[in-house]
Structure 1
Amino acid sequence: MNSRALAAEAFGTFMLMSSILGSAFYSFGAPSGAAGILGVAFCIGITVMVTAFAIGHVSGGHYNPAVTIGLVAGGRFEAGKAVFYILAQLIGACAACGIFSLVGHTSPTFAANGYGELSMLKASLSEVFILETVLTAFFLVVIMGVTRVNGPSLLAPAAIGLALTAIHIMSIPISNTSVNPARSFGPAVYAGGLPLSQLWLFFVAPILGGVVGGLFGKWLLKADA
């Protein structure tokens, strides 16, 4: 297993998690005015975009277990490497949470994902499950489409970053947006309690969506593979 690829996955996930925590913890409470959902969404999308431009070529720029598993399902990634990538992603997410716990000014839930009391709109378990599954599938189709052999490879990071921005605008009020088990894992571990008890949902739904999106993308883009 390529150690540089694993380091890139850990670092990329660390930066993704940092963009989520920094924007969630600090921009909403800024004295000069809250950045709001749009500010948070663009912070996350831009971070993923620039990280993918900078180091995506080293590992493929997954930064997300659902993406890794979805790409395996879509025939774009070796199954034997998936476990190592996922471990690196989980470590990167937890490391970012550790840094922000030291910085402080965090929320009791540590920006965790959730339903019911953890949802801005008090969305139900089924509502969160459906949206997380559908949006992760959408994300995988975008990733597979822009990274196809004859695709717009130079613009792929921009498309992926903008897709993630759109996903966050759509779903922050419902689930605080996961579409990424590593993103959910770190905050749940640090928050404990209710966020940790709901963590299973943010593994099952995004991974299911990743597999569906990977398989659908493989079929849809078959002629362009």
Structure 2
Amino acid sequence: MSAETEAQPLAAELVGTLILVFFAVGSAVLAGEFIGSLGIALAFGFTLLALVQLFGPISGAHVNPAVTLGMLLAGRMDVRTAVGYWIAQFIGAAIGAALLFLVAHQVPGLSTHGAFGSNGYGDRSAVGLSLGGAFVFEVLLTFLLVFVYLSVTRGFTARGWDGVPLGLTLAVINLVGIPLTGAGVNPARSFMPALFAVGSAISQVWLFIVAPLVGAAVAVVVHRLVHAQDEEWLSDLSRLRASRARDR
């Protein structure tokens, strides 16, 4: 595999995560009062649907470190590839958040301090959800997203109509999660906006990194229980690849 070919999935993850943060998180920052929770949820869902169509065959359009962790734990990608994805995702989220921060500061009267599309619990939750409740909720939300990724894809890429269930799932997650925690489910999406929001957003962001990773691990376990045939297919594919590598 050439260096150019290896770089393509990383570039896709970087650009994809940048787009997700700028446009989807941007819908909450720049247009939240006009489109409401439903509009923000649809923005996240449609953005992911488009990204899967664009980048799914190249990188899988994970655009989320928790999804990549799920693929790694499920044996669909190696550690080296996963680390590359994580680096690309956080860089993409950082660029997307920086561009969004720049645009937001061109809007008169728009304050980003302590908010800026960041997630939260307690007094930063619209319903006052507790720390424990927020942790369990983020685990469950991320479990659902990663479980759907594992169920509708083969390997770690996505093709064809895979974007439809993935986009709908993210839309539902945000529709339910926005009033409770802001619906993190993505460590890169949560961490970078929190850095620009500063204040209490920074002190709470740890939850929105740890809980999604736990949710991803749970999704892998449950997927192995209910989709055993997929796991057998992946095991056969891994053995075939290893055999071909030895023959070379």
Deviations 1:141-200 (A, max 9, x none): 111111137xx9521111100000010011111110110000111111111221111111
The answer to whether structure 1 residue 44 and structure 2 residue 48 are counterparts is no
- Taking the aligned partners of 2:203 and 2:128, their CA distance within structure 1 comes to 16
Could you say which residue in structure 1 is the equivalent of 2:228? 222
Distance 1:146 1:106 in 2: 40
CA separation in 2, counterparts of 1:78 and 1:60?
A: 14
Match of 1:84 in 2: 84
1-structure distance, mates of 2:127, 2:61: 32
Structure 1 unaligned residues grouped into runs of 5+: none
Cα offsets for 1:85-122 (capped at 9, x unmatched): 11110111111111111112453221111111211111
TM-score scaled to structure 2, two decimals?
0.84
* 2:22 equivalent to 1:13: no
Alpha-carbon deviation of 1:82? 1.3
SS of residue matched to 1:135: helix
Equivalent-residue separation in structure 2 for 1:77 and 1:212 (angstroms): 18
Partner residue, 1:164: 170
Q: Deviations over 1:31-89 (max 9, x none)?
A: xxx21111000011101101110122111111000000111112222222111111110
Q: Which residue of the other structure, out of 107, 110, 117, is the alignment partner of 2:112?
A: 107
Q: TM-score, normalised by structure 1?
A: 0.92
- After TM superposition, the structure 1 = structure 2 runs for residues 154-193 of structure 1, keeping only pairs within 5 Å, are 154-193=160-199
* Structure 2: distance between partners of 1:157 and 1:218: 22
Which aligned pairs between 1:203-222 and structure 2 lie closer than 5 A?
Answer: 203-222=209-228
For the aligned residue pairs, the C-alpha RMSD in angstroms reads 1.6
Alpha-carbon deviation of 1:221? 1.1
Between the two proteins, the alignment pairs up a number of residues equal to 219
| Range moving further from structure 2, 55-64 or 174-183 | 55-64
1:19 to partner: Cα distance? 2.4
